Every structure is written in C-alpha cells, then in structure tokens.
Amino acid sequence: MQEVPLHTYMKFRASMLDRVVSGEGQGKRRLWAACGECGVEGPTMRCRDQDCLGGQMFCRPCILLRHAALPLHWVEEWDGGWFVRRGLKEIGLRVQLGHAPLEAGPGLPGHKRGTMCAFRTSAHKDFVVLHTNGIHNVAVDYCGCGKSEETRDQLLDACWWPATPVDPQTCCTFTLLRHFHTLNTLGKVSGYDYYWSMELLTDNTGNVKLPDRRRPFMRCAREWRNIQMFKRGGRAHDPTGIEGTENGGLSLFCHACPQPRINLPEGWKDEPAFKYFLHIGQDTNFCLRGRLVSSDAKDPTLGQGLAYFVDKIPYTEHIKGYVNQEEISSCSGFAAMFLANLKRVKGLRTSGVGGVTCTRHNMWRANGMGDLQKGERYCNMDWVLASSMRNCEILHVIFTYDIACQYYKSFWDRMRKLPEYLHLNIPPANIFFYVPNFHLPLISR
C-alpha cells in the first residue's frame, strides 16, 4: 500500500526537479544529437512548452513539416546557451485555408506537407490568432479558386472565429472561446484577466511588444455566446432560422412548473385547483447597474427580447409615459433602502434590474427581466411581470413580492393600461399576493 502521497513526493522531489530543469535545457543527448525526423546532425529547434510530446529536437525544415497542421504551437531555437522563442510565421510557415490542409510529400513516404492554392490571396500582414497558449501572429493565405467561399467561411472551417465578418485581422480559436466561456461562467474569470493571462503566456518578460487585441477578443466572446444560444435553441435546424425566433424563444422554461400540453393531464382544469397553482416571485437588484458608456448604434443588443429580458423597443416606449412616476412603496420600513437606491445614479444607463422567477424551482421566466431607469417604479415592474406571464394558461397564481403590500393596490387598473397583447388571462380573484418572510404573511385580494 502506497504511503501518504505527499510524503512519497518529498522523497523523490530532488530527482524530479533535476528532470524539469534538464527539460528546460536540451535534455538528454538522444533528444538533440540528431533530427527526430530526417536524422541530420545538430538540430536546433523544438516545440516550446512540449506541446508536442517530449523535447525531441528537429531541423528547421522538419519542424515546419510537423507543424503544417499545427500553426498555433510555439517553437524555440537553441542559440548556443539557451532557447529563444520563435513564431512559426517567423521561420517561414504559411497557413493555407480553403484546401485540404495536408497531402503526401514527394520523397517522404508516410509523411505529409501543406498544400498551397495557385490563386491564393494573403490575409492582412498583421493577422493575429488568439489561442489558449497565447497571441500568435500568423501568415494566412485564403483560397482564390473560382468556387472558393467567403474568407469568413474559410476561417470558420478552420475553427477560427473572425472578429469581423469582412476582412478580419483578428481571430479567436473555437477552443479558446469554449475555454473562456466555461471559466467565465463557472470560475467568474473576467475577460480582462483572461486576456492578460494570454499575454503572459505569450511573453511574461515585458520585453516583447504584443499586439493589443483585447477589444476584438471581447467582441468574439460576445458573438460566440450569442451564436451558442441560437444553436442550443434549435434555430440552426428551424426553417425560419434566427429571424424566426419568437420572443423568449431562447430561454429555458421550467419543466416542473405546470405547462398545458406538456406536463399536465387531459382535463386538468376540472381537477382541484391547488394541484396546478403557478408560484412566481418578483424582485429587483440594484447592484446590477449599467453606466452610460456607449449607445445602441455602437453596441447593439444581439438578442432583443429573445431570451430573458423584455423586448427593449416597446418597453422603452412604454416607460417614456411615466417619467415622473414615484417609487412603488410608501412603507416606512423600506424608506432607507429606497433612498440608498436613488443615490449615485448620475451617469447610469440603468439603476438596476427587475425580474420574475419561478419561486418553487428557481427558474427565471422568459421575458421576465427588465432594466430599471430610476428606482423601483410601477411602470417597469408591471411591464416585466406582464411580459413574463404573456399567454399564460394557468388559472391560479401565487405571486410573492417584498412590497406586495403596495404593489397589489390598483394592480388590475394598471394592467388594463398595458398593450392588449400583455393583458393577463387570469381571473382577478385567482391571483394571490403575498409578502415573503417579512411583515405581512398574506395580502387579501
């Protein structure tokens, strides 16, 4: 039986350190005496950070041959006393898009070399590809044959996401975008920190001037999230495509909540009502503030009303008629909180977010979120609630809100002032207002 692993490690760490340091140099003689491909003596190049297995060294033609389909590896060259980092572009590699990437090379049975298009056109001279191991300056050739695809299609076929659809100068690999998406959503790694880590992986000495591609990276990440939403929403296989996506069509509905024709039996309306109550809650978050740093012209919304937020255009038109409307609550218990919410709002695009959720299963409702312009006002919260309940067929609703004691007053009068397509299909006597965990257990109808 093995001992405690860390005790075992301490016995061998001296020899392990020797191996690591030796690998940072040339290593054992068998690795550098002859080229691992053609056998020529005195090879000087190898794959940096051992991205290719082991530290075997190669001559320059052979290292290019081995990396014809691996253009985003780093290589390094022995300079007599140490290794110097080289880019594959620097030693002559060009990446040909739009053709089969490899073909058999003459005189090298079993080996392959890259192909070049006879009508190729070169990409921008400072073309940059961002990958998980750093920032690469890559020499790219597009296919120029008669039936060649658009340059963006050639890049996408290579699993490189272009920062702009037309004449891009920057790309992010699909691997990088998946990696950042996961770290950002699960590990809360910001885009700034992730890009900084790419710079350090490329060069952490500060002696190399790297191209600044942080903004294109953030744009690629945003577009990647958007396209993943459409893909997971089934829009790629729908005849109407992206343009046919309905409001809230990209959101995940709660499978446990009562859904007619999905999880309710035939004749459910004739059964006891309590079995099919819908439990929803509404609240606001004033920590989700947004500063007025751009405009819709420069920074458009990519999924207007297609997921959890309400459609911005009719929502904005609606609240324009309530510019001077006061806060919902006049309750003294909330006075201090409301005053705090109204502080430091100058220069903000939104002072917070209001949302509606399924309170039993903690799922956000489709079109159940909206920006707040100034505090917690009826005009905002009414629209958000009505949007989340649009076309709801459930007949009984338990509605909880921390200021329901104020909100329920004149509720139905306000609902009738909303556009007809947002009118609730629930009888007024069948919606029950509650204040959760505070000072009122139940609000009468």
Query: What is the dihedral angle through the alpha carbons of 403, 404, 406, 412, rounded to the nearest 10 degrees?
Result: 140
Of the listed ranges 125-134, 163-172, 398-407, the least confidently predicted one is 398-407
For residue 367, give both structure tokens.
């079109």
Assess whether pLDDT exceeds 90 at residue 108.
no
For residue 80, give both structure tokens.
């007599």
Dihedrals phi, psi of 66, to nearest 5 degrees: -70, -20
Contact 123, 141 (CB under 8 A): yes
How confident is the model at residue 55, as a pLDDT?
85
Give pLDDT tens digits for 92-104: 889 988 876 554 3
CA-wise closest residue to 315 among 304, 300, 326, 302: 304
Of the listed ranges 147-151, 265-269, 370-374, 436-440, the least confidently predicted one is 436-440
191-202 and 214-232 helices cross at what angle (nearest 10)? 120
Residue ranges of the domains in the chain? Answer: 18-86, 95-232, 268-434
How many whole angstroms separate alpha carbon 342 and alpha carbon 292? 16
Residues 6+ apart with CB under 8 A from 8: 2
Query: SS3 for 161?
Result: strand
How many whole angstroms separate alpha carbon 438 and alpha carbon 445? 19
Contact 111, 105 (CB under 8 A): yes
- Looking at mean pLDDT, say which of 81-85, 134-138, 150-154, 375-379 comes out highest: 134-138
pLDDT confidence bin for 270, thresholds 50/70/90: confident
Of the listed ranges 26-35, 79-88, 293-302, 380-389, the least confidently predicted one is 293-302
How confident is the model at residue 329, as a pLDDT?
63
Pairing of strands 112-114, 102-104: antiparallel
pLDDT confidence bin for 274, thresholds 50/70/90: confident
Assess whether pLDDT exceeds 50 at residue 439.
no
Q: Residue 144 to residues 102, 149, 165: CA-CA distances in angstroms?
A: 18, 9, 17
Q: In what order do the strands lie in the sheet with 363-372?
A: 363-372, 352-358, 278-285, 397-401, 431-434
Query: SS3 for 107?
Result: coil
For residue 444, give both structure tokens.
């009468």
Pairing of strands 290-291, 348-350: antiparallel
Of the listed ranges 86-90, 319-323, 327-331, the least confidently predicted one is 327-331
Dihedrals phi, psi of 309, to nearest 5 degrees: -85, 150
For residue 19, give both structure tokens.
């191996």
How confident is the model at residue 109, as a pLDDT?
39
Average pLDDT over residues 363-385: 91
Mean pLDDT of all residues belonging to the chain: 86
How confident is the model at residue 36, as a pLDDT?
87
* Dihedral class, residue 263 (left if φ above 0, else alpha if ψ from -120 to 50, else beta): alpha
**Has this prediction a pTM greater than 0.75?**
yes
Assess whether pLDDT exceeds 70 at residue 358.
yes
Contact 179, 130 (CB under 8 A): no
Contact 250, 305 (CB under 8 A): no
Assess whether pLDDT exceeds 60 at residue 114.
no
Of the listed ranges 52-61, 169-178, 333-342, 421-430, the least confidently predicted one is 333-342
How confident is the model at residue 338, as a pLDDT?
57
DSSP string, 27-79: -SHHHHSB-TTT--BS--EEEGGGSSSS---B-HHHHHHHTTT-TT--EEEE-
DSSP string, 284-330: EETT--EE----TTTS--SSTTTSSBPPHHHHHHHHGGGTTPPBS--
Give pLDDT tens digits for 21-67: 988 888 888 888 999 889 899 899 999 877 787 888 999 999 988 88
The one-letter amino acid at 393 = E
Query: SS3 for 282?
Result: strand
Assess whether pLDDT exceeds 80 at residue 1.
no
How confident is the model at residue 196, as a pLDDT?
96
Percent of the chain with pLDDT over 90: 47
DSSP 364: E
